[in-house]
Every structure is written in structure tokens, then in C-alpha cells.
Structure 1
């Protein structure tokens, strides 16, 4: 009997569902608790899960969405290049090749085969972003010519074969990373996590048997798929379009890059067509199709359609949510580059694509979308040389902001859209690295998008180097401002400022590579602010007053945009506000119908 066809009773189904999810969460917990680099230990830039022999996601941890959706692509890639071509008990595979399914090269994947009673039945796997894999510049890379400049590339390589470690490969890693000890210690944490996942899966099989466990897993995937399809079926059939522009590719500053999104809804399935987006670029600013472009689209629809706040029952996190979604991107485009194009700096493009999917569907899904989000990523690599000659490298992910949304303001200073990383404590920074955080707060130099529900406010963070060092920064949206929705106004663009110890400072591009900074200098990052949702004149005047008191809005902005009149001593003038809002609505009507204000002919 085919185990996948076994029907499992509802109670056992729920028990196995809970057990699978607990295994994934335990794998993720072990991974970040055992790691040494802050990008994993503190930011938790990880993903972990269990997968069947067809590489379907059986369960996933609640890490970064991109990591989880990408692991099946890693496994499909490994199947074409596995060392020796056969899985054996005790094997541990390391893999990160972007043209064999990897999300991008710094995300090392560790895979452990799950054997039960001598038979290969599943895989336990995880991914984690590593501080440095020996690329052209420390930590992050942007302006590079091809994939070979991205550092160490592993394609289906067995780090352990039959339980025995490949000492030659281990030594190779020791001499090809600027942060070799951290890299190796973090790999060990990944191995421990994957081995624990395999052990827990074996224990589950011991308790319920192969037929019941995999029968339940398939029912759970089918259930998640049916729920996703039912949500998609609520969207009217049709083609929905949106487009935006990326600032540049990190080298050619005069060339903006279009992103064009067509969301094609047919019954209970959907296609994201990226035809018309920019051609691939000659830097690392391309996106691996299997490992990043497709998971980004999955993330967009999971966020909009299966939000736990809008569902009575949380869906099991598995392959079923991916099945109704098709992704199309022409070969040779920025979202589907041709080997050997570099493809490391790929995150902001994915975030912008998700934001455009939201924008395209806003007219037919007003209650499930936001206004324009910051939809970028500030990923910074700070580095330098220690007195003993060794490198130090620090990776930092800075927060953005969401747009306003139905029934609530956009969250301030929060990771988005497909990221779920935590901020690194500034105390941890000062304890371990020659850096000081001088400023970390909400932006006060611009206003977020106005609306019935205002946009979120982006973060500003200033990091100062205490020794000579270098900075590489990957970000976006200095030119394309987050959009307002349903009458809301647009948000604010981001910016990056470089400063020096002598007090000089200047604004620079969102992306730059290996910028040398002397001791006392550093970088200030200003995240974009979200767009507003709904008519600003419908925002309760009392709420606008609170915004003014919190320094989220100026008195002048309250009057000009919200029609709310507030005195210098912060007292709301109710009568003047009513009159002001009536006047602003009348002026809108006259602007929309100018002929209506002309005198009638005699």
C-alpha cells in the first residue's frame, strides 16, 4: 500500500501535525541558540524543516519566509549534483550554489537524510546566512562580475560521508573565510539542528509508522492547498498590473531598473508573470529564480491570504500553500539570470516585487492589502582588521516600515516584507566589536504617508567605527517612493549618509561596495516610510492630535493634509477643524469638476 494514500483519523492527524511543527521549531531553536555569529544567534536569519523524498515541505520553522520556501529548491538542486549520486546513513550535505537551487550563496544549507529501518524516507534540512564565505568583499558583495566572485560554492558536497567528516573540506573552509571560526561553528550548529530533526522524525515514525505519518503529512498538505485555493478563488478572475523601478544595479548609477508585475488569476490558481522586468545586470544584483524569485511570490500570497489574524484556524506550514502559485520570469531577466551571472545581492528586488503584487491586487482586495511599504532591505557589512591581523566582520539588518492598512496604521520600524529577522542588540555590538551605535530611533526628518491610517515610520540608525574599516551596503528605494492607497498620500524615500571624524558628511547611493572609512567615521541609514491608507480627512482628529504630540506629525502638516487645526500649545480646535475639513473637501470637488464652478450662461 502506498503510505501517502493512507487516511488518518482527525485526532491522530492533529497530533501528527503538532508533532511535525514542534520538530521544525525545535530545529530552529537549536540552530540559533548554538550559533556564534550575531546574524544567526541574534537576528535569527535562518529556516529549518522536514521534507519528503519528492522535496515537498512537510513542516517549517517560523524563521525568515525566504529561507523556508527555498529549501525544496536546494533539495532539487542537490538531486542533480549529489556527490556520489546516492544518500547513505550518516551523510551530511552542504550546499549553496545559486544555479542549483540556492536562495543565494551566503545561505548555506545543511541536509541530513532521514533513514528509518534502513530505508531513506525523508530529509531534515536548514539554511542560515553566514557572515563571510570568502567573497570578493567582506560579508556582502554587490559590484562583482560573476558567480565565482561570490566566495565558496558548494554543490551537493558531502561534508560527512557515512558518518565520517571530510577533513580536507573542513580544512578548506578554514582557509577560505575571513571569519573561519564563526563560519565553522555556525555550520556545526546547523548540523546539530538537522541531526536533531532527523532523530525526531525517526521517533515519530517509531510511534505511528510510516504509513500513518506520511499519510497524515499528505492530508495536511492537501488541506493547506485547498484552503489556499479557496482564498484565491475569492479574487475575481483577471489580470492585474503594477510596476516600479529599482534605483540602480550598484555600479551603473544612471540606469534605473523596471520591475513589472502581472498577477493573473484563473479560478483557484494564480500566476505571477514578471515579463518586462529589467534584463539581468553585470553586478551581483540579480535574483536566483528557483531559490529566491519563486519563494518570494509564495510569501506574498501566504501573507495576504493566510494571515493568522484573518483566519479562524492557523494553516499547517507546508508545501500545500505553494502548489496553486505559478511564477514566470524570462530567462536572462533580473529575476531569472543566466549562469554565470552573479546573484548574491537579491533581497531588495524580492521585497519590491512583493510590494508590487500587493499594489496590483489592491483594487480587488482592499481589505487584505497595505499601502506602499518600505519594501527594501538595509543589509550592511562592517569590517576591519584586528591588531592580530585577523578580520572582524559584522552583518546588520535594519528595519523599514509598513504602509497603512485596513483598520490600523502601518507598523513603525519593522522588518518587511519577506524578512523576519530580529535586530541585533546595540549592547552586543559594543561588547564584541569596535563599533558604537550613536543613534537608533524613528525618523523625524520626514512625514510618513498620511491617511485614515497613516504609514509606518522608518528607522534611523547611526553606526560609528572605532577603528579604520570598510562598509558595504545593500538597499533600495531612494528614488521610488512608497505609494499611497485609496486616497492616502505617498510615504517617504530612504537615504544613506556617510560621515567622517572631522564632521564632514554626505548622502550616498543605497548600494555601495567596500567603502573605506577611517576611525570615527560611519554610516547613518534612514529607512523609507510607508504610504497612507484611506482619506486623511477621515482620520479622527483626536488621533491626529496624538500624532502631533508624539512628533509623528507637525502642526502644519496636520492642518494642510489632515485638515486638523491644533494650537501652538497642542489644543485641538474642534470647530476650526470641522470648517477646515469642509473647505478641503469642497476644494477637492471643485478641482475634480472645474466646470461646476463656472457661472451658468444667461
Structure 2
């Protein structure tokens, strides 16, 4: 291939990525709901006419990787019936979706009357109906109790909105005006992406653009195979557990057997638990998306996250298991848990081969949704506890990052500022800060957890707790210690309650307060090997106490600073023991 061709393909590839980014910027700026506009709980992308993901705005990784499945579901249902000016909507977890709150908008892109691309946006809506506002129904035993299911459905035909379809969907939700507005924002983002693609086709020509898109997929596949070939051949096993499913106290096992061969890797979940009663089950789309996230993380950050990279990754997930349940099982929590545990199990397996590439455990999400009537305007509201995020685990050469989304949303969900939350919801923020002695100790420590305390003053407010990690902490690696557990305290006018990680709606009164302590990340490496100056810095910053510095790190700190002689003595004694 000549140099000019290589440069042109590079330019087109970069343009495809920036189109996805522009779609994301448009969606963020045009949406109304806080979960879109502030938390940015969405992802955007471009696929080819086969539904293969070419480029994506990572946004929420568990959503981004699923974009191709949504397009493929539309292709399977409508086949040759897709026409210019159509737009499709989908959310069914058993037909191309993740969980019901994540709605996909799919727009075909025609050029000279030929279907060339699809633009796709997938985003988490604040309410999708069902028995509980906010749609995290901890008591659900079947998907029908979680909200309205939308199979691949034509929403716009030949540029004309199907009003009856839109009304049917939004009529079954608690905030139909906001949902309509956000769906239009998604469709608008797709339209911008489509226009940019047409501009690119006009500028470079169909043949060149098509070749560049195919080259992107091929290059990603080659890089994935190259990464796989660097792993020692063999099978590595990793296990992770969820606390429970909300119905039984029994922990739920996710086991991944990861087999590396020269040009492919197989991830086998056959020894994972059977599907459970509660809403932690993971549909196959979510399971595959989580597996891709984990494996590509272990291989290289330089591999483009597109369908070419996914091809050498084979996944075995038996039907009827917690990672591939039968089609009526509830799944709403799955994009957090068990997606995070799927990722962790794979990373634990890979750590047996390449520990230097793998981080220790991340804090799991465990927070509230809350809903009721806002006394300032008498409008119904649904809010989420995005400000109680846990923290990341340490890895070789790097401490964990604080205040992160769960590992399935790694770096994606943004926590809104407290002032914005107080404008949008009838709550007051009483405390919001990192918590001492919650970070997993290690040569490279995890990051501390967060204390988040809010007071409610709305009318007829209810709270739902959903999440995990109140029994099973983030794991440590290579001698690093575990991170802390999630905890909470609800102070009502009558009593003090400690809520389970999966708690059905509870009514609140004006003045009730909720305190959340999120989990700190796990540590990586022997804590006694941590630089003593970094230990002292952690103490000064309030991350660890004097007691932790002494017991966990073998560092003696006095009012005058580090007692070097005592520290060396302590560390020598600890190493001998």
C-alpha cells in the first residue's frame, strides 16, 4: 500500500472517531435529564451496514460495546425493509439491549440510495416504567416487572415521526415529557453523525471510505491477535462473587476460564451459577460486552474498541446461567452487577499470567434512587445517587483513582456537582468527602472511599437502594490488601436503619437523612514495599491514620515526621514474620 493511501485511511479513521465524539457532545448539550446532561450515562457510535461497530465514543463502556448488538437486532428484524429516513428504537435485553432503562436509537445512513452505515446512540433514561420509579425494582422476579420492553421498532418512517409509537412508549413512563425530549436528543445526535458521514463520503468517495472502515476492523483484529500471542498459552481461571441477589443471602458466583491460544482466546463461563431470582442476571449482550471490556483491557489500551477487536474473542455462556438467563429473568442491575463481577473474574484470571497489567479490585456501586414530589414546583422527580461512587484499585506503578464509576462504567459516569443536585432535587448535601482508612493497602494502594450524606425535604419521597459490595470487598493483588465495604445509615425521625444493598422502596419524611460510605479500591503489592515518603504523604492528606501507617505499612510517624530508625526496624520484623 502506498504512503498516500495509508495517510488517507488514517485521516478517514480519525474522522470516524471524531464523528462519534461530536455525537456525544451534541447529546450531552441537547438533553434535559440530569442522567444525560450531567452524568453522561450514554454512548454513541458508528457501525457499517452489517452492524459491526467501527467507531465509538466510549462514554459508558458497557453501553458502547453493545451498540453493534442493537443494530444487528434491527437488521435481523427488518432485513431489506430498512429505508432512507427511518429511525429505530430498541431496549429489550434479550434482543440487542443491555437492560430496559438503556434505550438505543438506531439511524441508517444511505448514500446514493445504498445503505452504508448506521449511527447509534444508547442512553440510560431516568424511568422506563415498571413497578418502581427509576426502574431499579429490587423485588422484580421477571422482566415484565422492570418496565416496558421495546423490541426493534421503527420510530421514524421516511422522516415522519410515528407519533403513536412514541406515545405508547412514553405513556408507560413516569416522566413522559423528559423522556420524549431525551429521545429527540438521541435522534438529533444520530442525525448529526449521519450528516457528518455524508459529508465525509462526499469528500473522499464511497470506495475510499468503505476501504478505510474495513481496514479499521482488520487492524483492530490484527492488534488483538498480536496481544493474545504475547500471553503464555494455557487456561487461567478467575472467580468473583456478588453479595446476593436480593432474595437469598447466598453469594452468587461468576467463574471465568480464559484460554489463550496463538490467535484467539476463549472465555468460558460454564462454571458460573445458574440464573437467580433477582435482577442481577446478565443478558448475553451485557455479558459479551463486559467480557470484551475486560479482555481488551488486559491486552492493550492501543487496540481500537470495535467489532474487529471482538472477533478473536470467543465466549461460552450456557443458557439458563446467571450470565445468560432465560428471556423472562429480571436483569436491570446487571450493567453494574454482575457486569462488574464478570470483568473482575476475567481480570483475576489474566492476572495469573500478566499481573503487571491488571488492577486490583474496584469499589462496587451501592446507592439509592429516590423519587417523589418536589415541593418547590409540585413536579414528580426521580433522582440517583451518582455522588456516592466508590474508588479504583491500585496497579503496578500507580495508585488507584478516587471517586470512580464501577469498573463496568470505568471512567464513564460523571458525578454531578452537589449544587446542581440541590437545584434539581429536593435534597441538601450535608457531607461529601474522602474517608480515612478505606483504601486497600499496598505498594500501590487503592483509593479511599467517599462519605456522602444528604437530607430529604420533598413530599411523599421514597428511596430504593440498589447495588452490591456490602459483604464482599474489592480484591487485592500481589500481596495488596482488600478495599473496604460499602455501608449506609438512614436516620428517620423514628429510628436508625442500615439498609441492605438491595432494598425495596421505603417512604421518607421531610428531614430524614441518608449517609453512604462507598468502598475504597484494593491494593496492589506488598504494603511494606510502599515508599515511606508516600505513606507519610497519605497520612498528611488524611487518607490513612497513624494506626494504619504503623500496622499496614510498617511506618512510624511522630509529630516531627517519619521515625526512620523505628520504621526500618518494624519493616524488618514484619518481613521476617
TM-score by length of 1: 0.91
Q: Give how far 1:441 is off.
A: 1.1
Aligned to 2:537: 546
Instruction: Write the distance in 2 (CA, Å) between the matches of 1:60 and 1:7.
Output: 26
Alpha-carbon distance in structure 1 between the residues aligned to 2:544 and 2:117: 54
Partner of 1:52: 48
Using the TM superposition, give the Cα deviation of residue 88 of structure 1 relative to its aligned residue in structure 2, in angstroms. 1.1
Q: Does 1:262 align with 2:257?
A: yes
How many matched pairs?
Answer: 570
Q: How many Å apart are 1:182 and its aligned residue?
A: 0.9
Equivalent residue, structure 2, for 1:380: 368
CA positional deviation for 1:48: 0.7
Q: Deviations over 1:334-355 (max 9, x none)?
A: 1101011121111221111211
Q: 1:8 to 1:61 in 2, by over 3 A?
A: farther
Structure 2 unaligned regions, length at least 5:
none
Distance of 1:49 and 1:6 partners within structure 2: 29
Structure 1's unaligned 5+ residue stretches are: 308-313, 588-602
Give the match's secondary structure for 1:487.
coil
Q: Is the 8 A contact 1:549 1:570 kept in 2?
A: no
Mapped pair 1:434 → 2:434: no
Paired residues of 2:443 and 2:526 also in contact (CA < 8 A): yes
Say whether 1:306 aligns with 2:273: no
Shift of the alpha carbon at 1:390?
Answer: 4.5
Aligned match of 1:600:
none
**Conserved in 2, the CA contact under 8 Å of 1:501 and 1:519?**
no
Q: Secondary structure at the match of 1:428?
A: helix
Say which is worse superposed, 268-277 or 114-123, in terms of deviation: 268-277
Shift of 1:80: 3.2
Matches within 5 A, 1:131-530: 131-139=126-134, 140-252=136-248, 254-290=249-285, 292-307=286-301, 314-346=302-334, 347-374=336-363, 376-378=364-366, 380-386=368-374, 390-397=379-386, 398-419=388-409, 420-444=412-436, 446-467=437-458, 468-501=460-493, 504-530=495-521
Whether the 8 Å CA contact 2:90–2:96 is kept in 1: the answer is no
Structure 2 residue aligned with 1:533: 524
Q: Judge conservation of contact 2:280–2:337 (CA < 8 Å) in 1.
A: no
**Is contact 1:8–1:215 with CA below 8 Å preserved after alignment?**
no
Instruction: Provide the C-alpha distance between the structure 2 equivalents of 1:570 and 1:433, rounded to a whole number of angstroms.
Output: 47
Q: Deviations over 1:102-127 (max 9, x none)?
A: 01111111111101111111111111
TM-superposed CA distance for 1:554, in Å, is 1.7
DSSP 3-state at the match of 2:355: coil
Q: Matches of 1:268 and 1:380 in 2, distance apart?
A: 44
How much has 1:386 moved relative to structure 2?
4.2
The alignment status of 1:22 with 2:18, answered yes or no, reads yes
Residues 169 and 389 of structure 1: CA distance in aligned 2, closer, same or farther (over 3 Å): farther
Q: Distance in 2 between matches of 1:80 and 1:522?
A: 49
Bigger Cα Rg: 1
Is the CA contact (8 Å cut-off) linking 2:434 and 2:543 kept in structure 1?
no
Q: Distance in 2 between matches of 1:275 and 1:498?
A: 40
Runs of 4+ that moved beyond 6 A: 5-8
CA deviations 1:8-39 (Å, max 9, x no partner) are 81110111011111111111110111000011
Tell whether 2:117 aligns with 1:127.
no
Q: CA deviation at 1:174?
A: 4.1
TM-score by length of 2: 0.95
Deviations 1:466-504 (A, max 9, x none): 1231112221111112222212222212122222145x4
> Which whole-Å CA distance do the structure 2 matches of 1:72 and 1:107 have between them?
14
SS at match of 2:103: strand
1:40 counterpart SS class: helix
2:81 pairs, out of 80, 86, 101, with 86
Q: CA deviation at 1:183?
A: 0.5
Shift of 1:93: 0.7
Moved more, 192-201 or 296-305: 296-305
Q: Secondary structure at the match of 2:358?
A: coil
Separation in structure 1 between the aligned mates of residue 68 and residue 106 of structure 2, nearest angstrom: 11
CA distance in 2 between counterparts of 1:315 and 1:330 reads 28
Q: Structure 1 CA distance, aligned partners of 2:573 and 2:290?
A: 45
Distance 1:586 1:384 in 2: 59
Is the 1:67–1:127 contact (alpha carbons within 8 Å) kept by the matching residues of 2? Answer: yes
1:363: how far off? 2.6
Change (3 A) 1:6 1:221: farther
Offset of residue 543 of structure 1? 1.4
